[in-house]
Amino acid sequence: MDKILVLDFGGQYNQLIARRVREQHVYAEIKAYNKITVEEIVKTGYKGVIFTGGPNSVYDPASPHYSPEILNAGIPILGICYGDQLMAYMAGGVVDSAENSSEYGKTLVYVDENILFKDVPTESVCFMSHTDYVSKAPEGFEIIAHTDKCPCAGMWNEKRKLFGVQFHPEVTHTVYGTTIIKNFLFEVCNCNQDWKMDDFIERTVDFYKKKLEGKKVLLALSGGVDSSVAAVLLNKAVGSNLTCVFVDHGLLRKDEGDFVEDTFGDGFGINLIRVNAEERFLNKLKGVTEPEQKRKIIGAEFIHVFEDESKNLGEIQILVQGTIYPDVIESGKGDSAVIKSHHNVGGLPSIMSFEEIVEPLRDLFKDEVREVGEKLGIPHDLVWRQPFPGPGLAVRVIGEITKEKLDILREADAIFREEVAKAGLEKMTNQYFAVLTNTRSVGVMGDARTYGYTIALRAVTTDDFMTAEWTRLPFEVLERSSSRITNEVKGISRVVYDITSKPPATVEWE
Ligand code: XMP
């Protein structure tokens, strides 16, 4: 299979670059610049390399650099933004910084006739985000694009098949970005389009059929997209040797546990054990109000339940995990602060011993996992399900968690989701849910005074959940939700809408 390497210098659009390549059915993988050598690149046989952007300046001693030998390795390279400047610097060109040379946002770019710009008009809109710029192209390079402020917005070295662009072709604001990426892949690197999800399924199933023959395989199914797709794939490969354990911690949304059981147990005929552990979890959570403590208790209890259950299954050699590609990329950036201790089923193996852990989805981006899910016949609603946190509704019930509060929240949340769906707005917002605040307020119903909980509704629009905008849901949808919730759910006297973005808030309330 043909492969492209995205060499990561710490830019914010690196995953986007790899996804743009994969959209063209060419496999791309991301490696941090300090995690792969030129020899390894050559040995792997990449058809091309893309240098990503990055926040640094090439003259800053702390900025990420790479061995200039890569330029002579005979592999086509496309440098983007910082990657373009780095290429220029490594090849002996000059990079400059001037306040009045910085460009941000949509910018007109003028391109010359070049293989990289085949089918790109002479003048079009691109996306720029830079202060430094290449002020003198290296020897052997020719300038192939410019903007009103940037004299070298593109360059190439024909003999060595090296290209650099100051703008970002991976960002959709660059109108001909896809064309430029296609030109690099097919005109310059001569890639084959052999990355297809149908082939992926066939290859993966065949691979695990052979690899896991005769072994007992265990998977923790959460009902989320990743573990569901992993379960159906592995079920195709090893059939009844796979057992899925679904821990129902009592913190799921309305009817969710039954839906998972019906879909996978009855529908796909998977060996499914549903563990009803609500009581265990609620006992452990009794009296606990601190968000991090809640998360830790749930994470630990999850492991205990799973462990107890798997003990009853006899010897199991293999654990399957639904790890996906963004979880395994080692980025070229530094460490960031922990805001919340996220919990998902990935935290299992450290205390349990298995012969091997297999991760059938570790090469896939989320949208590819979804495509595989659709092709495997997993219900559309599940494949496109909004994210749901591992600790479930525990992080949406503020203060102490009780069954009564969970039931109130489940009803309110179901109404809100139903109203968003009825209005056909599921695609307008990336995650939307209700939160049971710990605040009670006075209300009036009929002629009587009420004193019930306040429900907060939350909906966010985001690409990556690292930052998010609050979604501007139509007032009518909010009004219908509010009116139905206060009428239909006992114990609620007020509904508010959360209009905070991330940052400064997070998506979940806890
Ligand atoms: P925050 O609240 O951190 O949420 O802005 C960002 C995204 O992550 C989800 N989330 C979790 N997912 N385990 C998960 O698997 C967790 O512990 C967890 N906490 C938050 C959240 O729903 C949102 O999509």
Give the position, in ligand 1's atom list, of the atom nearest the Cα of 386. 24
Average pLDDT, stretch 432-437?
98
Alpha carbons 166 and 93: distance in angstroms, whole number: 14
pLDDT for the residue numbered 12: 84
**Ligand 1 center to 117 CA (angstroms):** 41
Q: CB-based burial of residue 279 (10 Å sphere; 0-12 exposed, 13-18 middle, 19+ buried)?
A: exposed
* pLDDT value at 229 more than 50: yes
Chain CA centroid to CA 39, Å: 30
Residue 502: CB within 6 Å of ligand 1? Answer: yes
**Ligand 1 center to 340 CA (angstroms):** 8
Pairing of strands 123-130, 103-111: antiparallel
Number of continuous H segments (helices) and E segments (strands) in the chain:
14, 20
**3-class SS at 3?**
strand
Residue 387: CB within 6 Å of ligand 1? Answer: yes
pLDDT for the residue numbered 464: 78
Query: Is-contact 29 45, C-beta < 8 A?
Result: no
pLDDT for the residue numbered 327: 83
Query: Is-contact 358 319, C-beta < 8 A?
Result: yes
Give the position, in ligand 1's atom list, of the atom nearest the Cα of 468. 5
Q: What's the farthest any 2 CA atoms get from each other in the chain?
A: 85
pLDDT for the residue numbered 346: 45
Read off the DSSP letter of residue 331.
-
Give the position, in ligand 1's atom list, of the atom nearest the Cα of 391. 17
pLDDT for the residue numbered 343: 62
HSE-up of residue 160 (Cα within 13 Å, Cβ side): 22
> What are the beta bridge partners of residue 143?
155
pLDDT digits (tens, 9 = 90+) for 256-304: 999 999 999 999 999 999 999 999 999 999 999 999 999 999 999 998 9
Task: Find the range with the poorest average confidence among 323-332, 408-417, 501-510.
Answer: 323-332
Average pLDDT, the chain: 93
Task: Find the range with the poorest average confidence among 146-155, 191-200, 319-328.
Answer: 319-328
Per-residue pLDDT band for 478 (boundaries 50, 70, 90) equals: very high
Query: Is-contact 401 435, C-beta < 8 A?
Result: no
Per-residue pLDDT band for 347 (boundaries 50, 70, 90) equals: low
* pLDDT value at 460 more than 80: yes
User: Which residues are CB-contacts of 10 (< 8 A; sequence separation ≥ 6)?
Assistant: 52, 54, 55, 56, 64, 331, 332, 333
pLDDT for the residue numbered 348: 57
Task: Find the range with the poorest average confidence among 209-213, 323-327, 342-346, 421-425.
Answer: 342-346
* pLDDT value at 430 more than 60: yes
Residue 386: CB within 6 Å of ligand 1? Answer: no
* Entry pTM: 0.86
| Site to substitute for ligand 1 among 247, 336, 366, 465, most atoms within 8 A of C-beta | 465
pLDDT for the residue numbered 242: 98
Q: CB-based burial of residue 436 (10 Å sphere; 0-12 exposed, 13-18 middle, 19+ buried)?
A: buried
* pLDDT value at 181 more than 60: yes
Query: Is-contact 218 313, C-beta < 8 A?
Result: yes
User: Which residues are CB-contacts of 127 (< 8 A; sequence separation ≥ 6)?
Assistant: 105, 106, 107, 167, 168, 171, 173, 174, 177
Give the position, in ligand 1's atom list, of the atom nearest the Cα of 430. 24
Nearest CA to ligand 1 atom 20: 389
pLDDT digits (tens, 9 = 90+) for 151-176: 999 999 999 999 999 999 999 899 99
Nearest CA to ligand 1 atom 14: 389
pLDDT for the residue numbered 155: 98
- For residue 195, which of 364, 366, 375 has the smallest C-alpha distance? 364
Catalytic residue list: 81, 168, 170
Q: How far is CA 97 from CA 52, 221, 438, 450, in A?
A: 19, 52, 52, 64
Rg of the chain over all Cα atoms, to the nearest angstrom: 26
Nearest CA to ligand 1 atom 10: 389
Average pLDDT, stretch 393-405?
98
Pairing of strands 154-157, 48-51: unpaired
pLDDT digits (tens, 9 = 90+) for 321-338: 999 988 887 666 644 566
